[in-house]
Each structure stands twice: as C-alpha cells, then as structure tokens.
Amino acid sequence: MEQASTATEAAPAARETDFGVGGMTCASCVGRVERALKKIPGVEQASVNLATESVRVRWQSGDDDVVAMSARLQRAVRDAGYEPRPLEAAEAEPARGWLGLPRDAWPVLLAALLSAPLALPMFGSLLGQHWMLPAWLQFALATPVQFWLGARFYRAAWHALKARSGNMELLVAIGTSAGWGLSSWLWWRAEAGEMPHLYYEGSALVITLVLLGKWLESRAKRQATEAIRALHALRPEVAHLLPDGIKREELVDIPVAELLPGDRVQVRPGERVPADGELLQGRTQVDESMLTGEPMPVPKQPGDRLTGGSLNGDGAVELQVAAVGAQSVLNHIIALVQDAQAAKPPIQRLVDQVAAVFVPAVLVIALLTFGGWYFWRGAALEDALLPAVAVLVIACPCALGLATPAAIMAGTGVAARHGILVQDAEALEQACKINTVAFDKTGTLTLGEPTLSALVTAPGVDEAGTLQAAAALQRQSAHPLARAVVVAAEAVPDAQALAAQEVQAVPGRGSHGQVRDAHLHLGSLRWMEELGAGLGELGARADALQNEGSTVSALALRLPDGRFTTLALFTFADLPKPGAQAAIAQLRARGLRLSMISGDNRGAAEAMARRLGLNPDAGEVLAEVLPGDKAARVAELRQGGHRVAMVGDGVNDAPALAAADVGIAMASARGGSDVAMHAAGITLMRGEPRLVAAALDISRRTVSKIRQNLFWAFAYNVAGIPLAALGYLDPVFAGAAMALSSVSVVSNALLLKRWQPEV
C-alpha cells in the first residue's frame, strides 16, 4: 500500500498524518473509523471528515517508525471495512467511462433503466390503467438491482455487523431485503394463475434513489472542495531557469519541484510565478487575487517580493527564488485551509454523540413498528412489514454526518478566495460570538510607516549632529519609529553617518548605546521619566506636540555621575489606513464594542482614535500599553464578560492574539506577520481593516449554515420516522426523502460560495 500522506511534526513528541478513506457514507461510518484508529496504541486523536473522505490522526511518535505507524493506521481502517487511500485519490475527479459519462454515474443509470418498468404500474394506476408486469419479469428486473447494483450496501452492512456497529447501508440492506424477500415469498406461495401484489418495485426504487442521492451528494461535495483544488492549480509545473555562467550557459526548463533557494528564473508575460522570491529585473503588474483576494493587479518593480502562484502581467521579469516547497506562501495557505477543513468544531461533538446511538435506536424502532402492526393491530405480515421497512429507509444519518463538514468546507473555501484564512474550526465557531473587537494601532489601523515630522533640540544642541547620533542608535532596529529616524538622517545632504557601539534595545521603551564618547538613550517619554531624565525647557513643547496627536520620543545623554539630560525631542506622524475609518463604522453598525490598544502616549493615541471614529471618552482607547501588557489588557476585557477578537500584525501582538477568544492576524509589509499568524485563529492576507468585518461575517454565516443543516438533518428524521411508523410513508417515498436530505444539506452549504465581502 502506498503511503497515503506525509507526516509532519506537530510537537516535539507527536506527529500528525492525513490520508483518504473510501467507502464512508454517514455519520455512523465516521464514528466507526475514529474508534478503530483510537484503539491503536499511541494514537491521541483521530478526526474524520465525511465531506472530504479523509482522516487526520495525531499520535505519539516515540521511537516508532513513521512508515510502520502509517501502515498500522491504514490497516485499522481496512479492518473496519473501509479503504485507506492517498489524499490525492480522495480529491480527484472521477474517471470518465463509456459515452463520456463519469464511471460513478453508470450504476445509477443502470439501476434507473431496470427500475423504470417496475415503476410503470404505479404511474398507470394514477391514470386508471393496469400495467402490472408478470411476477417472473418483476423478479428478473429487481434482482440485479438488489444484489448486483446494491451489493455495496451488503458489503458495508456486513463490515458494520462484524464491527458490532451500524451504518446507513445496514438500514438500506435490511429494509430493501425485507421488501424483496416478502415479494418472493408471496410469489412462491401464490396459487397457479393468481397474481399477488408484489413489492419488488419498492425495493428496486429505494436502491435506485439511494444510489442517485449518493451520486448527487458526491458531486456536491466535489464542489465544496473546489477551493483546495483551485489553490493546487495555481502551482505551475515548469520554471525557466536562467544561466549562471558556470554550470548552465543557456535557459533551461525544469520542474518547479527542482527549484532551490537562490536560483534565478525568468517569468514570462501571462505565466504564473513559480516560487516565492525577489524581483531582480523588469517591471510588471501581478494578479494576486487567488492569494490575497485583492481584485486589482499590483505593480511590481525590482526589489519587490513576488509570491508563487500569482499571475504575471505583461512584463517579462527575472526572479531570485527565496522559498520553495512547504516554506512558500501558497503551500502555507493550502495547509491552513486543509487544517481548517479537517478539524471539527465543538458543535460537531453533539452530532458524534447522536450518531453513535442512532442506527441501533432506529433498528429498535423498526422492530417495535413491525410488532405494533402485526401483534397489536393484527395486520397481515406484508402490511406490518412495509411501515418497518419505511422506518429503516428514511432514518439515514447521511445528512447528519455531512451537515457540519460541508458548511465548513464551503465557508473556509470562499473565505480563502477573498484573502481570509480560517486556521481552525473552533475559531470559526467562536468568531460568530464576538461582541468586542480590539485593534492594535500601528500597522493595523494606521499605515505603520511613520515619518519624522519634527526635531526639537535643547538650546545649544546641534540639530544635524543629534539626528545622525540618533540614527546610529536606531540603524539596527526594525521598529517603525527607528526606521523613520534612519530615513530622515539619510535624506540629509552630505551628512556624515555615525556608528554606535554596545547598542541594546529595551522592549517597549527604546534603545541605548555609545556614540563617539557619549552614552545616549533614545525612547519614549515614559522611559525618560523612569530614568529620571527631566525634559526641562522641552517639557512644554512635548506636551503641546502630544496634545496635537503626535508621537514623541526623547534623546537623553547620560552624564558621568549617572544623571540624565534631555538633548532633543523627535516627533513622528502616522496616517490612518484608507479603509480603517470605514472598518470601524462597519463594526460599530453591527453593535460591536470597539477598542484600540496602543503604546503611544495618551494624547497621540486619542487624537488618532478620533480620526478613525473611535470615542476615547467612552473608554475605546487603551494608551501607553507596553507590548508585554497587551495580552493582559485583552484578558481584562474577557474577564469583564466580553468575547474578544484581537486584531494585530506584528511580533509584539502575538501574545495578545493568543489571549483573545479569536486572534485575527493581518498581513503586513513591516515583517513579523508570520509570528502573528501562528498565534491567530484567522489570518487576513491583505492589510485591509475592512476584512475584519468580512471575517466575522463569513464566520457567522458559516455557523448559521451548520445550524440550519443540523436542524434539517434532525427534522427529516424527527418528522419522517413517526410518519413511516404510522404507515403514512411508503418505502419508495421514504427512500426519496432520505436521498433528498443529504443533497439538500450539501446544497444549502454550497450557497456560501456566493458570499462576497463588503470591501
């Protein structure tokens, strides 16, 4: 057996593996596969997805061999009566057969052709005609449907019985066999020349309708997995490797799988970018819509990043490969979507509990139905058997098993198409309960690219020298304010750059180091206060700048006696993101409580908040919060009874994202997004604040579809079983209703594919 998946490290002592499982049809099958896998020593968790026909197993690795463990897992699935197979086989489209029809459609077509003559008398009776076929012909038509085309039901039912459990096939096999057997018995005991009333058409039509329902269901499930297949299709097969002048003297076409970091490749107009990297030569526009949801092409020039899978415009460019394989952005996106679709939300636990007892309960109800009609009502054998058969046929847990995964697949798929990656199903369910949204300020609501707007020096301090000394301290820092100082210093004509020694960063405060003979500290006014560095004559100016909404830092000199004197004030200005104000308005219109968390001084934070539409007087601004304290502020909001979504984009936001009910990481050009994404349950692939409302909206809609599907799945059985038991539902109509239940659940989930974000 080919190894069905790749096992990846999930933790130092644990692994996860995914593979396909063929032959599952209902929620009972899901439970049976999971129980079989959990019996294997070392297995911690097994999660089966009926819609994708796949399983994810988490197990303790120890010293065990990965190949051996994978073999044991697949053997357990096979012993449970199902077929382990590679994930690629589970996702593939069915092969085409004769006349170009899918091979999985032929059993349905043959069953319909054989059952149609049996159904003619039913329609003839409506017209007052008696088109009853001879008993031998009914037997000849019904038997192949029952035991050849319906053989799959007997095989699966036998495996279920061996495992001492039940499934949909067991119900169908018992119900239709009872109808076929009753008809054969009535025909056998009939007098010569007598035409008994037979029920071959009921059994044959039930099997035909169930086969039709499963075929329609499989088609709908393939539509639900379309998002994953579309992402896989973004990866080109071939890359044009450029000559390096040593080993290669001409352009060579190689498979993308052979690319290595550092390779230089050519990307021609209209081709997909083969790998993540840096644009070296040429200018173009790139369509990144399938990765980020951004509908407009993005201009690219030398030095810009290109993402593998994006579509090149009309310019031929050269690319230096930076990341390939599992390290690429596209593969990371695919992995996140697959993880979300493989996971089970908490609401699914109720379904699993019900499914575990559903089939045995239905068998008991069917026996009670037969006993009630035969012994209590005194009905004839055939009249008592038909209601029991109807109970068995209509009580199928297929819809129950598809209700949740179908909605999750459709919802996460359409969200990914618009640049919203849901990383786990629990985040999806929690997001619909959010009543408070907390934003980090810099880079999330603002552009995160502050500029040095003013430099105010103390009397007698050289402005140019002060700027160069500050730039020397900040040159190695990735903080936005530090970069603003460096950019301003480099823009001064003929300026002499200085070097700093022994530079140390103090998180949330600033940095200090030696520049020439001076030991300088550059950071927030709060830090200056902690150091005891008074602002002196600059104090009034600092207050005025803060009241105007500026972010103010100070440069202080440490004297030989340990005291500090302030040399200058640095004033920074940042701008709101274009969609930030609209995002705040959208969320407020939905009745959500809003909060902005910022490390800036209160004056600057409140001024920016007012520009964005937030109300500082209503407690919507938390200012002067150190990076390490953001998580504590989020925890305080939760302790106050709020369900909090935290939105951030940088490394220092990761603890707060993890502390929230739902963390929403926003992709950023500033760096640090990867850390934030790992701590968040939802990732926005564009730095667009309005996607926050869109993420909450698709989560709410997806959970709503799950609840609708579960309602209808239960409603079919709650209404259908009593009607069938009381004799109001013919087995044929019961079979049609059962097939319709599965198709309607998946079709309802597919309505999510029409969702569009308001961005």
Cβ atoms of 411 and 752 within 8 Å: the answer is yes
CB-count exposure of residue 739 (10 Å: 0-12, 13-18, 19+): buried
- The answer as to CATH 3.40.1110.10 being correct for domain 451-573 is yes
659-708 pLDDT, tens digit each: 899 989 887 654 444 555 566 788 888 888 999 999 999 999 999 998 89
The pLDDT value recorded for residue 10 is 42
Give the C-alpha separation, 134 to 557, whole Å.
108
Catalytic residue among 440, 574, 600, 649: 440
Does the active-site annotation cover 64? Answer: no
- Start and end residues for every CATH 3.40.50.1000 domain found in the chain: 425-447+576-680
- Start and end residues for every CATH 3.40.1110.10 domain found in the chain: 451-573
Cβ atoms of 545 and 569 within 8 Å: the answer is yes
Confidence of residue 2 (pLDDT cuts 50, 70, 90): very low
Higher per-residue confidence, 755 vs 200: 755
439-498 pLDDT, tens digit each: 988 888 988 778 898 899 988 888 888 999 999 999 888 777 888 899 999 888 877 888
**Mean pLDDT (whole number) for 580-590:** 93
385-432 pLDDT, tens digit each: 888 888 887 776 677 777 888 888 888 888 888 888 887 778 888 888
Higher per-residue confidence, 627 vs 263: 263
66-122 pLDDT, tens digit each: 778 888 899 999 888 888 988 765 555 555 556 556 677 788 889 889 888 887 766
Reported CATH class of domain 425-447+576-680: alpha beta
The pLDDT value recorded for residue 83 is 87
**Mean pLDDT (whole number) for 734-743:** 73
Query: In this model, does residue 330 exceed pLDDT 90?
Result: no
- Token pair, residue 324, equals 């390939």
The pLDDT value recorded for residue 686 is 84
Kind and range of the H or E element at 454? strand 451-457
- The answer as to CATH 3.30.70.100 being correct for domain 8-91 is yes
Give the C-alpha separation, 71 to 14, whole Å.
17
Q: With H, G, I as helix, E, B as strand and everything else as coil, classify residue 180.
A: helix
- Token pair, residue 405, equals 């995964």
The pLDDT value recorded for residue 3 is 40
- Token pair, residue 490, equals 């480099």
Give the C-alpha separation, 341 to 199, whole Å.
43
The pLDDT value recorded for residue 672 is 42
Confidence of residue 266 (pLDDT cuts 50, 70, 90): very high
Work out the mean pLDDT of the chain and round it to a whole number.
82
Reported CATH class of domain 237-270+276-323: mainly beta
- Start and end residues for every CATH 2.70.150.10 domain found in the chain: 237-270+276-323
DSSP letter, residue 665? E
The pLDDT value recorded for residue 98 is 61
- Start and end residues for every CATH 3.30.70.100 domain found in the chain: 8-91
